[in-house]
Structure 1
């Protein structure tokens, strides 16, 4: 007997690729809704003729809109970041001409908060019903922030590498001029580079993404430890400076300055003899921090040098140029007294 004779025909076939309930009839609305919620997906429709937009509750929350009144794409556009608004409007207007699926990422503004949304759908009028397109919104704020963090880190690393290469080039040039042999140049250059390495080890990130800093006292203490722990030097170096943060660029520059001062002291000053001592003290004065490097018990210095050596030139360039400060030397009979005045604003850089 045929269907035309009143008997039922074969059951209608359903596409198992587009209709999951064809193979899992138990997958009703509630199951699919829970899956959508678990994925953090918001569903939306857009009538291309009337501009009317409909979203589920998650969509209203994602856009920061109250669930009331008529909603249009024009209203949504007011929430889009001004820098992305024209781009998103043009993209949505062109969706009917897009063959296949499309995706666009953009920013929305919620007061002072910026949120990233990814809109995804199918263009070229595929599956369109009653002049209405449909798609999903995804909150991709965390992913975008992670990407921005990676880009920032890459940029910071590039900046730091360039700075280090420039410093290494300058140190090599200065050291080559003041060295008496290849061995002497190697030794001087390695100790200066080691000082930079110690300074970078001190720099730590601040909470809340506020940058990176080290403590002023730690810079002096750590960089001078090799001299203080060397046999007869033990316990002869005292550091008492204000507790303040030093930015990573400043830490590098200050490390070079401390290294040059210590090198001069070991060669010609208080740390070149068994009874010499070194006292480093500091005070705050308005927008400046003053650090006094006082050596006692070293060999007498009959008079100040008439010309600066390369190490002294490097020290002056560092203090005055990079740190926006000044350096004053007093060649007293008891030992050198070197006063550094540093800008607190520069110190944070």
Structure 2
């Protein structure tokens, strides 16, 4: 009898190990009687636990994100009753780092050996982040389309106030819609562009041009900001904020009224630039709604998270006052 090792079997094992490593798969076992968990080295690294530590399901549960912990526990217990393959995605939280993990295996004791269940862990953080980005983009696009419909209607109304006739109104409205298109080009970042995207004053001038009246109502939008170059990334983010503020003003604030005016001023203090958006003469504003809308959340997220600055609202009787503080160095990027 030949007891020599089978070279084909050894090659197959090595090939399988390389494939597992290349796929980033972590192998795990769970003794359903003793609650003992074991993993390969990649699994210990994925969960950030010492390789010499004795593990139970509860030990790993402590590293599951609090918002997912009960769901994960219930799902793993239910695997004993699940027939066939199962899969569950959840988050882990180590210090402040969030990671998405997909756990996969077979339930209903299928092919169970010595009361030990087997399965794999996959790091799916990149896929989940891509899905969240897609959902955010879809929500933002839906929000913008709804805003555009409201803006088009409001632009037609304010154009009718100063137009002398049908032809004049059509000409003015086309001019405003063309300016609105240029404004949206600023909101949409352009790939491959380097250097300063625009001057700070030009960003406000282009974005607010569609909303300024002509004739007797001309000049109700006044802009006075420091002369400074804005980088491509920050220009798109700042444009997003300005566009959202202008849309809200056109719907509910000073730009919705014939007598309303808008002042945008800026000042530099040390390494910071402060931009103050002041509305006057519009409808009386009681204050912010109890539940902020998507636009308000988008403005705050852009100002604080994306630009690393701060934004504050003051709801005065004469109109809203919005104060944006951002580092000069950030605006240059």
**TM-score grouping bracket, smaller chain normalisation:** 0.5 to 0.7
SS at match of 1:46: strand
1:129 to partner: Cα distance: 0.9
Cα shift readout 1:127-185 (whole Å, capped 9, x = no counterpart): 10111110000000000000001011111111222222211111122223443332222
Matches within 5 A, 1:6-85: 25=9, 27-85=11-69
Conservation of the 8 A alpha-carbon contact between 1:282 and 1:289: yes
Structure 2 counterpart of 1:284, from 243, 254, 267: 267
* C-alpha distance in 2 between matches for 1:222 and 1:247: 10
* C-alpha distance in 1 between matches for 2:24 and 2:176: 54
1:248 to partner: Cα distance: 1.3
* C-alpha distance in 1 between matches for 2:132 and 2:171: 41
Cα shift readout 1:32-74 (whole Å, capped 9, x = no counterpart): 1111111111100001111100100000111111111210100
How many residue pairs are counted as aligned between the two chains? 250
* C-alpha distance in 2 between matches for 1:42 and 1:346: 46
Counterpart in the other structure of 1:163:
147
Structure 1 counterpart of 2:226, from 241, 252, 257: 241
Conservation of the 8 A alpha-carbon contact between 2:64 and 2:90: yes
1:119 aligns with 2:108: no
Distance change (3 Å), C-alpha of 1:91 and 1:253? closer
1:217 to partner: Cα distance: 2.3
Matches within 5 A, 1:167-316: 167-203=151-187, 215-219=199-203, 241-243=226-228, 246-251=238-243, 284=267, 289=275
1:284 to partner: Cα distance: 1.4
1:103 aligns with 2:87: yes
Cα shift readout 1:265-300 (whole Å, capped 9, x = no counterpart): xxxxxxxxxxxxxxxx97517786589xxxxxxxxx
TM-score (norm 2): 0.63
1:205 to partner: Cα distance: 5.2
Conservation of the 8 A alpha-carbon contact between 1:219 and 1:255: no
Cα shift readout 1:221-247 (whole Å, capped 9, x = no counterpart): 65799xxxxxxxxxxxxx983336634
1:108 to partner: Cα distance: 0.3
Any unmatched runs of 5+ in structure 2? 191-196, 210-223, 250-263, 288-295, 297-311, 315-319, 328-333
Distance change (3 Å), C-alpha of 1:288 and 1:41? closer
Counterpart in the other structure of 1:137:
121
1:345 to partner: Cα distance: 1.8
TM-score (norm 1): 0.60
